[in-house]
Amino acid sequence: MELNDPAVVSDQDKFRSLMKEQKNLETLVECYREYKKCNETIEDSTSMLEEESDADMREMLKEELSEAKDKKAELEDKLKILLLPKDPNDEKNVIVEIRAGVGGDEAALFAADMYRVYTRYAERQNWRVETMSVEDIGIGGIKTVSFMIKGNGAYSRLKFESGVHRVQRIPATESGGRIHTSAITVAIMPEVEDVEVDIDMNDCKFDVFRASGNGGQCVNTTDSAVRLTHLPTGIVISCQDEKSQQQNKAKALKVLRAKLYEMETERQHNEESQLRKSQVGSGDRSEKIRTYNFHQGRVTDHRINLTLYKIDQIMDGDIDEIIDSLIAAEQATMLAANG
């Protein structure tokens, strides 16, 4: 067994990978064992019914047979899902980017609201949040924010959040009571290991500047913030949350690695356009995925036509019902595609 190999034990990345694989296989094996047990119960009960003449005993056997058949059907559905191809990124941490779009200050205020939604959701999952950079507008709104969420299965739960989120509500500054529509974009990227994306440091230009905003006593006293420009793609990343240049530089490279990985994944997906169109949501940032209507107290996910009248709970990070519905829809699509 590989897990007992000293060479594997000393390689922590390999060891963690194999532990995750073992855990996934244990779930599949346990489900299959239950399935086999149900089949045995069905065979035994059917055989005994053919020989049994006592009315009470026959009734009991029929009930046992019915329960076993129902459970078998449930386990068959579960096995089909467990045998579906796994997204290799599902267990990874994620880097989240939220940007205010159309709608001016109201879009920036909604970006701040959604930042809170995801941080509250992370708290509910006992995940850790590390803010990487924030550009605020001074009235409680956020023009753009980047942060990392660290936790088991973070990408598997949050990957469907990529796209345009639209809000319809009456802004606090609106005296006429008119409903205003604005939008933000959300990007969810899996954290990528160094070995997965090779970055030529000659393609990277680093500038340092003085951090601003929240960040402790060192803010505005040292040039600790870092701006990274990737020359071949024109990608620009700023990180100022940490107190040292080296820490901010490391975080900026993490974001760049994730962005380059996302670009390559997008290119591959475009080559498989038919498969991409069949998915629940392409993850395209230009795709309007959800509307938050405060006046009517509803949230609608347009990809699966799901509407929930619980906007207060959702804005407090209670988004499991939406995520579970999206995962179920994707699984149904994959099952249909696999015949």
Q: Please check whether residue 83 is in contact with residue 153, taking contact to mean a CB–CB distance below 8 angstroms.
A: no
Token duo for residue 112: 């701040």
Every domain of the chain and the residues it spans:
2-82, 94-195+276-337, 201-267
pLDDT in the model for residue 200: 87
Q: How many other β-carbons are positioned within 10 Å of the β-carbon of residue 276?
A: 16
Sign of CA dihedral 96, 312, 289, 105: negative
What is the SS3 assignment for 96?
strand
pLDDT in the model for residue 319: 96
Cα 154-159-163 angle, rounded to 5 deg? 140
Q: Please check whether residue 94 is in contact with residue 155, taking contact to mean a CB–CB distance below 8 angstroms.
A: yes
In terms of average pLDDT, the best of 49-58, 115-124, 262-271 is 115-124
- 214-234 in b/e form (b: 16+ CB < 10 A) is ebeeebeeeebbbbbbbeeee
Residue in 180, 177, 112, 183 with CA at minimum distance from that of residue 141: 112
pLDDT in the model for residue 283: 44
Token duo for residue 88: 């290799």
- Answer whether CATH 1.10.3720.10 is correct for domain 201-267: no
Q: Please check whether residue 109 is in contact with residue 139, taking contact to mean a CB–CB distance below 8 angstroms.
A: yes
Higher per-residue confidence, 4 vs 201: 201
Q: What is the Cα–Cα distance from 90 to 315, expressed in whole angstroms?
A: 24
Is it true that 94-195+276-337 and 201-267 share their CATH fold?
Answer: no
Cα–Cα distance list, 313 to 23, 81, 299, 316 (Å): 33, 29, 11, 5
pLDDT tens per residue across span 239-264: 887 778 888 888 888 889 888 888 88
**What is the mean pLDDT of the segment spanning 22-47?**
85
Least confident of 3-12, 123-132, 133-142, 202-211: 3-12
**What is the mean pLDDT of the segment spanning 149-170?**
93
Q: At what angle do helices 12-51 and 55-82 cross, to 10 degrees?
A: 150
- Answer whether CATH 3.40.50.960 is correct for domain 94-195+276-337: no
pLDDT tens per residue across span 296-319: 999 999 999 999 999 999 999 999
pLDDT in the model for residue 54: 81
With tokens 């205020």, the residue in question is: 109
Higher per-residue confidence, 278 vs 68: 68
Q: What is the Cα–Cα distance from 179 to 296, expressed in whole angstroms?
A: 11
pLDDT in the model for residue 220: 46
Q: Please check whether residue 101 is in contact with residue 185, taking contact to mean a CB–CB distance below 8 angstroms.
A: yes
pLDDT in the model for residue 75: 87
pLDDT in the model for residue 57: 86
Q: What is the Cα–Cα distance from 298 to 322, expressed in whole angstroms?
A: 12
- 313-332 in b/e form (b: 16+ CB < 10 A) is ebbebbbeebbebbbebbee
pLDDT tens per residue across span 179-196: 889 999 999 999 887 667
pLDDT in the model for residue 17: 62
Going by pLDDT thresholds of 50, 70 and 90, the confidence category of residue 26 is: confident
What is the percentage of the chain residues whose pLDDT exceeds 90? 36
Over 90: is that where the pLDDT of 2 sits?
Answer: no
Q: Please check whether residue 123 is in contact with residue 104, taking contact to mean a CB–CB distance below 8 angstroms.
A: no
pLDDT in the model for residue 287: 73
Over 70: is that where the pLDDT of 1 sits?
Answer: no
What is the SS3 assignment for 66?
helix
The amino acid present at 34, given as its one-letter code, is E
